[in-house]
Structure 1
Amino acid sequence: MNTVTPEPLAEKILRGVGGPENIESLTHCATRLRFQLHDGAKADQAALDALDGVMGTVPQSGDRFQIVIGGAVAGVYSDIMNLPSMSAAGAPRPQSDADVKAEIRAKGRGRYAWLDNFFEYLSDSFRPLLGVLLGASLIIAIASMLDAFGVVDFRSADKSATWVFVDSMWRSVLYFLPIMVAYNAAKKLKIDPWVGASVMAAVMTPNFTGMIGSKTPGVTTHTNATLGTTESVAHVFGLPMQLNDYGGQVFVPLLMVALLALVYKGLKRIFPENVQMVFVPFFSMLIMIPLTAFLIGPMGIWAGNGLGTGLSWLNGHAPIVFAIVIPMLYPFLVPLGLHWPLNALMLVNINTLGYDFIQGPMGTWNFACFGATAGVLLLSLRHREKDMRQTATGALAAGLLGGISEPSLYGIHLRFKRIYPRMLVGCLVGGVIIGILGGVNTKAFAFTSLLTIPVFNPMIKYIIAISAAFFTSMALVYFSDYRTKDERAAVNAERDAAEAAARGEIPAQAAPAEERELVTVGAPAATATATATGTSTAAGSTAGTAPVTEAPAAAEAPVATGPAVELAAPVAGRVIGLGEVEDPVFASRALGEGVGIEPADGRIVSPVDGELITVADTGHAFGIRTANGIEVLIHVGIDTVQMKGEGFDVRVESGRKVSAGDLLAEVDLGAVRAAGHPTVTLLTVLNTAEMSSVEPHTGQDVVAGAPVVTVRR
């Protein structure tokens, strides 16, 4: 018997607002999805109101549309944004690792566009090769481990056919790397990538490389007595051509494609569009293959050798400086995508010197990075942070087993500014140890992970350095935390609420603190009134809406069992009922019973003794929990979240204990009015459903501190 999978709420909402193509932007606050639609008339309000999980809808002017979800809004928002069909929408997405990377790279842009473009060209030519380079790296690591345990002589010149074949599995990537780089570079410069690959392949064919050191007519070979190297020169069309094995070279394809792009685009301007497919690739190859063989190839070899020689000199004459500079530099190069040029030099060193001396110090940066992630993981276990535990576990596994730092960087480190300084200390410690011990080399290009440790020599020095880097970063992050005290207090409070909800003690507020307009602990108000929200709202505007039917906070109020608690007015002014408020969400009591106050001034004070669970970054909302569990929301103005804090001078921070009458904020009411927002200040009891009664006292003018709501548990 076939079962039908229920359609997710996110897809139903998406269909109800007119599909992804009707969405211009989407954000959310504490309880609502806020859509900016291309055409508000396409939203099916009745269908949306009828959905389980939707507490109400609020059409607004300017094609804006709100859907009230309640505490689970962040999860629904995330589900909507992750739908494949949302690629057709203009909505901004939650920050992914790639978004963080792009943001960091944008911040790193300097005054000179040509320099930024140059580094982007280098980075984008290598970045798509990450997977195959990692695969080859792990194959090398496995072979090196077998060599270390004496199973096979990995470096023997007379290995069996089996191990020659195993060699080909990783050498295929490194040897043909120039062709792959040429393809990516051409794609980056928006020309036919196969032309770039073909030009590079022409000087790597067996016919071409077979002339090196051969007795082919027209080829002469001589030995450089000074350098001890053998050079072959072929005379082609009467012109001397230096022969080189371009396997593993990276500077040659980068130089070649840069010139190819000029030739290719120039030819496209010359030939009519209907013959470009034939003649542009033909003439591009006819011009660029000889230029590469005669000029660009030798120049690239010289450039790569020169850079490698310079770094080798620094490593030989100031090894401690070199060993410190490399790991301290990488944490800033990787987020900007500028580390690939150094990786290219590693390949050049292996091809020219037979070994590389950069990867050893670089490994201390990687393990300092992984150590910081381990510190975050330990903290997430200690504080029972489920989401961060999952993120850190995946990032740590990718790092320790694959040598990939990006999940740690973009998923964690760049999002918490306290991590980087602590990680840099680990980099410094590891680099100093490498320098003092005399450096570490490797004869293979390998991603620095636990599996590739055997490819480094001397192995024991490398293990000491990366261990020191790892545990230094881990300890610093763990003992000083990656969150501030205020952030930790807020996150732990939310965790406690979620755990209490899971035990059935209180309903949960699902949205993460950093993603919500306001984080509160406990339940939204009783949902018996949810369907009232938006049902009496005129389409297209919240101003002048029909009155919303007021419903009791709980269908059956229990008998009063405790003493009355008086909630004071947070601001001086005229007290009105929630039914008179222009926001249907508050008017429907979806966020609890309470009052509205038309403020006489902008001094906002605490209405009760308690703890500030959350202070909105924008300063327009405050959540307070009393000692006996009453949860109070103070919300200044309607839709003032859109002001992004302008006109709000906040005087408190999350986690602080406050007494009734303490100043929370000073608000420029003139600025609020100028921005087109009502100034009415709301005071509601969020967990009204848990109370025996919540009695508002309306129709009076009050001073701040006067009782306006009576609550009994």
Structure 2
Amino acid sequence: MNTPTPEGLAEKILRGVGGPENIESLTHCATRLRFQLHDGAKADQAALDALDGVMGTVPQSGDRFQIVIGGAVAGVYSNIMNLPSMSGGGTPRPQSDAEVKAEIRAKGRGRFAWLDNFFEYLSDSFRPLLGVLLGASLIIAIASMLDAFGVVDFRAADKSATWVFVDSMWRSVLYFLPIMVAYNAAKKLKIDPWVGATVMAAVMTPNFTGMIGSKTPGVTTTTNATLGTSESVAHVFGLPMQLNDYGGQVFVPLLMVALLALVYKGLKRIFPENVQMVFVPFFSMLIMIPLTAFLIGPMGIWAGNGLGTGLSWLNGNAPIVFAIVIPLLYPFLVPLGLHWPLNALMLVNINTLGYDFIQGPMGAWNFACFGATAGVLLLSIRHRERDMRQTATGALAAGLLGGISEPSLYGIHLRFKRIYPRMLVGCLVGGLIVGILGGVDTKAFAFTSVLTIPVFDPMIKYIVAISAAFFTSMALVYFADYRTKEERAQVNAERDAAEAADDKAPAPAPAPAETVPADDRELVTVGATAAADTDASAAAGPAPVATAGTDAPTATGTGKALELAAPVAGRVVGLGEVEDPVFASRALGEGVGIEPADGHVVAPVDGELITVAETGHAFGIRTTDGIEVLVHIGIDTVKMRGQGFDVRVEAGRKVTVGDLLAEVDLGAVRAAGYSTVTLMTVLNTASLTSVEPHTGRDVAVGAPVVTVRR
């Protein structure tokens, strides 16, 4: 099976979701592309699922559509967003009254749309924090390992300033988590995220927390002699307000933002648009900060403590049951994104109890998941399944080193129904061992990976449990196979046929060398290695060469070559030298970069202007025989929104070599902090015989810089 090029995969995904005109917006998380479509019914789920590089698809209510990519999601996202047709980032459009009403009615379609929206709210409030939570957990893991080896007492009360500072590196994430969650939650509900963050920050300032247990007038503190706990109440405007330290709390911001969204949107309907920027945030803060301090904050803490207490009771009274239920529950929660509430409870436990008892049993699930992936990897090596070996290797690395299970789940386990029952046996074995051995706790929020093993206590019990879960799943999957006997026979037969075809295929003949005019003064020899961004300089026999924008016979006389002219004068460099990873990776095709001597940009080839970016930074031209050429002026210059770009053409116009496309103020581009390098690539490189850039020289505008052979 041929693996598509990055450009090809991006284009196929774009077609699969209904084209750029069907995309309202596109974002991504750690493993998934997240589309908001105009019409979800236009997405071809079967075609998308069949693509190499796509692990799976997840249609959702409200025309939302997720495509699971895995660890390469950021690169695929960049490739899609850098396609000329996505230069606008999506196609939001005005709607008629009838369409607006239809959209409102559509929100209710599906029996569980409300539940989907609720968990989307939870997931999107936490998902953007995945990186910093993982970073903090690894810092904790390193500190715990040093503690285990006696280098430092990680829990000592009199640690040196050095280790107090190290503590602050990970505590910053957990303590200020409520503010981060409030920001994300507000953004999810489409209100000003900084208002949400500000309301939450108000009850976390030193002024507020400093009143707890203090002798400030109006503050009373009582101590529970039985429990040894104290409670502070401040009398504000004559009303009692329970004082709490909200560091690490997550239920409070989730509850607060849900109410804030109603207040904020209500105020926007009251105030005229020209004064909303001042009065909507002002009254939102004036209303929500007191409500949070007096009511929502205490309620959130009570709710979190109540749930934590319930699970703690189950853990204390039926620890074996608890230890078995958690790892058996997670394999069904994670694919649906329903695991975030339990993650939130872990943070509540750490904040209130000083430790968490959920993550230990959860580790049994994670390592059972990774063990099943290891079994698939061993089978893929045994049966020489190249694609599955690559998928399993990446998924296993993400799991063992990062504690991330989604690549394994979406890339492998949910695709083969024989894996899940065997993985669940590993979950059961690991959870049972945790329960029999008396449970495993941790004082830190940690992604359950190999690197975070030292944060669990007792560590030996944890290692025994996760090892049993891992090797049980791995053995069951390996010896039972994740394919049926019939599927295995068919796949192996296809593999043998493909290998036999590869063995019989003749080696490609080297491309003949030819001389091309570099400019008016020199000849540069270009051979088969020109596409690798090298400056070929070995002399070769003369051969007929086409002038820019015309067809001419190649040196062999079989086929035709097209020379692309320089759209600007300047120094020609290879794509590997430009500071843009998308162009440098050839995701948008082979070509060249030119450090421009001036801002005079012309057409490099005869054809039709298919795309003219409104910002003037990019032009797409298609020749009569279907060669697609992109001229991209500068890097990230789309952010200039057209300032400094004087566009002289429009989409649909026929152009010939040398026609003026735009005048660009290069000084303005540099002043804005962007590179001026002008890039020219052949977008459909993969469908052509060769695309040969001629680099390492200074050229005049119109000089040949790329040779294309069909």
User: Offset of 1:347 from its aligned partner?
Assistant: 0.8
Is the partner of 1:435 in helix, strand or coil? helix
Question: Does the aligned pair in 2 maintain the 1:377–1:393 contact within 8 Å?
Answer: yes
TM-score, with length taken from structure 1: 0.57
Between the aligned partners of 1:24 and 1:249, the Cα distance in structure 2 is: 40
Question: Does the aligned pair in 2 maintain the 1:368–1:473 contact within 8 Å?
Answer: yes
Question: Taking structure 1 as reference, are residues 202 and 469 closer, same or farther at Cα in structure 2, changes over 3 Å only?
Answer: same
Aligned to 2:460: 460
Structure 1 runs of 4+ off > 6 angstroms? 8-11, 35-38, 78-81
Aligned to 2:308: 308
Between the aligned partners of 2:323 and 2:354, the Cα distance in structure 1 is: 20
Alignment pair present for 1:503 and 2:503: yes
1:439 maps to amino acid: G
Between the aligned partners of 2:276 and 2:223, the Cα distance in structure 1 is: 46
1:222 maps to amino acid: T
2:182 maps to amino acid: A
Between the aligned partners of 1:316 and 1:266, the Cα distance in structure 2 is: 46
Question: Does the aligned pair in 1 maintain the 2:11–2:80 contact within 8 Å?
Answer: no
Is the partner of 1:242 in helix, strand or coil? strand
TM-score, with length taken from structure 2: 0.58
Aligned to 2:279: 279
Question: Does the aligned pair in 1 maintain the 2:372–2:474 contact within 8 Å?
Answer: yes
Matches for 1:470-509 after TM superposition, within 5 Å: 470-504=470-504
Q: Deviation string for 1:196-215 (max 9, x for gaps)?
A: 01100010011111111111
User: Offset of 1:276 from its aligned partner?
Assistant: 1.1
Aligned to 1:215: 215
Aligned to 1:324: 324
Aligned to 2:198: 198
Aligned to 1:43: none
Measured on the aligned residues, the alpha-carbon RMSD in Å equals: 3.1
Is the partner of 2:231 in helix, strand or coil? strand
User: Offset of 1:507 from its aligned partner?
Assistant: 10
Is the partner of 1:328 in helix, strand or coil? helix
Matches for 1:490-639 after TM superposition, within 5 Å: 490-504=490-504
Aligned to 1:418: 418
Aligned to 2:187: 187
Q: Deviation string for 1:459-484 (max 9, x for gaps)?
A: 11111110110001001111111122
Is the partner of 1:503 in helix, strand or coil? helix
* Larger gyration radius, structure 1 or structure 2: 1
Aligned to 1:512: none
Matches for 1:671-686 after TM superposition, within 5 Å: none
Aligned to 1:255: 255
Q: Deviation string for 1:20-78 (max 9, x for gaps)?
A: 79x99469xxxxxxx9999xxxxxxxxxxxxxxxxxxxxxxxxxxxxxxxxxx989xx9
User: Offset of 1:10 from its aligned partner?
Assistant: 9.2
Aligned to 1:138: 138
Aligned to 1:156: 156
User: Offset of 1:251 from its aligned partner?
Assistant: 0.6
Question: Does the aligned pair in 2 maintain the 1:374–1:474 contact within 8 Å?
Answer: yes
Question: Does the aligned pair in 1 maintain the 2:203–2:246 contact within 8 Å?
Answer: yes
Aligned to 1:365: 365
Question: Does the aligned pair in 1 maintain the 2:264–2:281 contact within 8 Å?
Answer: yes
Aligned to 1:445: 445
Q: Deviation string for 1:168-193 (max 9, x for gaps)?
A: 00000000000011011111111111
Question: Taking structure 1 as reference, are residues 278 and 150 closer, same or farther at Cα in structure 2, changes over 3 Å only?
Answer: same
1:289 maps to amino acid: I
Between the aligned partners of 1:87 and 1:318, the Cα distance in structure 2 is: 59
User: Offset of 1:458 from its aligned partner?
Assistant: 1.0
Question: Does the aligned pair in 2 maintain the 1:110–1:116 contact within 8 Å?
Answer: no
Question: Taking structure 1 as reference, are residues 435 and 26 closer, same or farther at Cα in structure 2, changes over 3 Å only?
Answer: closer
User: Offset of 1:358 from its aligned partner?
Assistant: 0.4
Question: Taking structure 1 as reference, are residues 313 and 37 closer, same or farther at Cα in structure 2, changes over 3 Å only?
Answer: closer
Q: Deviation string for 1:566-597 (max 9, x for gaps)?
A: xxxxxxxxxxxxxxxxxxxxxxxxxxxxxxxx
Between the aligned partners of 1:120 and 1:80, the Cα distance in structure 2 is: 23
Question: Taking structure 1 as reference, are residues 458 and 280 closer, same or farther at Cα in structure 2, changes over 3 Å only?
Answer: same
Question: Does the aligned pair in 1 maintain the 2:20–2:86 contact within 8 Å?
Answer: no
Question: Does the aligned pair in 1 maintain the 2:14–2:80 contact within 8 Å?
Answer: no
Question: Does the aligned pair in 1 maintain the 2:271–2:280 contact within 8 Å?
Answer: yes
Question: Taking structure 1 as reference, are residues 321 and 110 closer, same or farther at Cα in structure 2, changes over 3 Å only?
Answer: farther
Question: Does the aligned pair in 2 maintain the 1:20–1:89 contact within 8 Å?
Answer: no
User: Offset of 1:163 from its aligned partner?
Assistant: 0.4
Is the partner of 2:357 in helix, strand or coil? coil
Question: Taking structure 1 as reference, are residues 87 and 260 closer, same or farther at Cα in structure 2, changes over 3 Å only?
Answer: farther
Between the aligned partners of 2:496 and 2:377, the Cα distance in structure 1 is: 19
Between the aligned partners of 1:189 and 1:151, the Cα distance in structure 2 is: 47
User: Offset of 1:125 from its aligned partner?
Assistant: 1.1
2:143 maps to amino acid: A
Aligned to 1:403: 403
1:343 maps to amino acid: N
Aligned to 2:581: none
Between the aligned partners of 1:382 and 1:260, the Cα distance in structure 2 is: 57
Between the aligned partners of 1:26 and 1:224, the Cα distance in structure 2 is: 63
Question: Taking structure 1 as reference, are residues 161 and 113 closer, same or farther at Cα in structure 2, changes over 3 Å only?
Answer: same
Question: Taking structure 1 as reference, are residues 275 and 36 closer, same or farther at Cα in structure 2, changes over 3 Å only?
Answer: closer
* Higher relative contact order, chain-length normalized (CA < 8 Å, sep 6+): 1
Question: Taking structure 1 as reference, are residues 499 and 290 closer, same or farther at Cα in structure 2, changes over 3 Å only?
Answer: same
Question: Taking structure 1 as reference, are residues 74 and 438 closer, same or farther at Cα in structure 2, changes over 3 Å only?
Answer: closer
2:176 maps to amino acid: F
Between the aligned partners of 1:226 and 1:116, the Cα distance in structure 2 is: 44
1:300 maps to amino acid: G
User: Offset of 1:116 from its aligned partner?
Assistant: 2.9
Amino-acid identity (%) = 88
User: Offset of 1:399 from its aligned partner?
Assistant: 0.7
Between the aligned partners of 2:453 and 2:259, the Cα distance in structure 1 is: 40
Question: Taking structure 1 as reference, are residues 442 and 24 closer, same or farther at Cα in structure 2, changes over 3 Å only?
Answer: closer
Question: Does the aligned pair in 2 maintain the 1:497–1:506 contact within 8 Å?
Answer: no
Between the aligned partners of 2:374 and 2:393, the Cα distance in structure 1 is: 8
1:225 maps to amino acid: A
User: Offset of 1:352 from its aligned partner?
Assistant: 1.0
Between the aligned partners of 2:114 and 2:375, the Cα distance in structure 1 is: 39
Between the aligned partners of 1:158 and 1:246, the Cα distance in structure 2 is: 25
Which consecutive unaligned segments of at least 5 residues does structure 2 have? 22-50, 54-68, 70-74, 88-108, 509-710
User: Offset of 1:506 from its aligned partner?
Assistant: 8.2
Question: Taking structure 1 as reference, are residues 473 and 226 closer, same or farther at Cα in structure 2, changes over 3 Å only?
Answer: same
Aligned to 1:543: none
User: Offset of 1:492 from its aligned partner?
Assistant: 1.6
Matches for 1:24-173 after TM superposition, within 5 Å: 25=15, 84-86=81-83, 88=85, 111-173=111-173
Between the aligned partners of 1:252 and 1:229, the Cα distance in structure 2 is: 21
Question: Taking structure 1 as reference, are residues 383 and 136 closer, same or farther at Cα in structure 2, changes over 3 Å only?
Answer: same
Between the aligned partners of 2:20 and 2:277, the Cα distance in structure 1 is: 43
Q: Deviation string for 1:679-713 (max 9, x for gaps)?
A: xxxxxxxxxxxxxxxxxxxxxxxxxxxxxxxxxxx
User: Offset of 1:226 from its aligned partner?
Assistant: 3.6
User: Offset of 1:121 from its aligned partner?
Assistant: 1.5
Question: Does the aligned pair in 1 maintain the 2:80–2:86 contact within 8 Å?
Answer: no
User: Offset of 1:377 from its aligned partner?
Assistant: 0.5
Between the aligned partners of 1:10 and 1:188, the Cα distance in structure 2 is: 30
Question: Does the aligned pair in 2 maintain the 1:422–1:477 contact within 8 Å?
Answer: yes
Between the aligned partners of 1:386 and 1:139, the Cα distance in structure 2 is: 35
Between the aligned partners of 2:149 and 2:76, the Cα distance in structure 1 is: 52
Question: Taking structure 1 as reference, are residues 476 and 87 closer, same or farther at Cα in structure 2, changes over 3 Å only?
Answer: farther
Is the partner of 1:355 in helix, strand or coil? coil
Matches for 1:420-435 after TM superposition, within 5 Å: 420-435=420-435
Between the aligned partners of 1:322 and 1:210, the Cα distance in structure 2 is: 38
User: Offset of 1:120 from its aligned partner?
Assistant: 2.1
Question: Taking structure 1 as reference, are residues 25 and 344 closer, same or farther at Cα in structure 2, changes over 3 Å only?
Answer: closer
Q: Deviation string for 1:224-283 (max 9, x for gaps)?
A: 224321111111111111111000000100110011011001001111111111111111
Is the partner of 2:155 in helix, strand or coil? coil
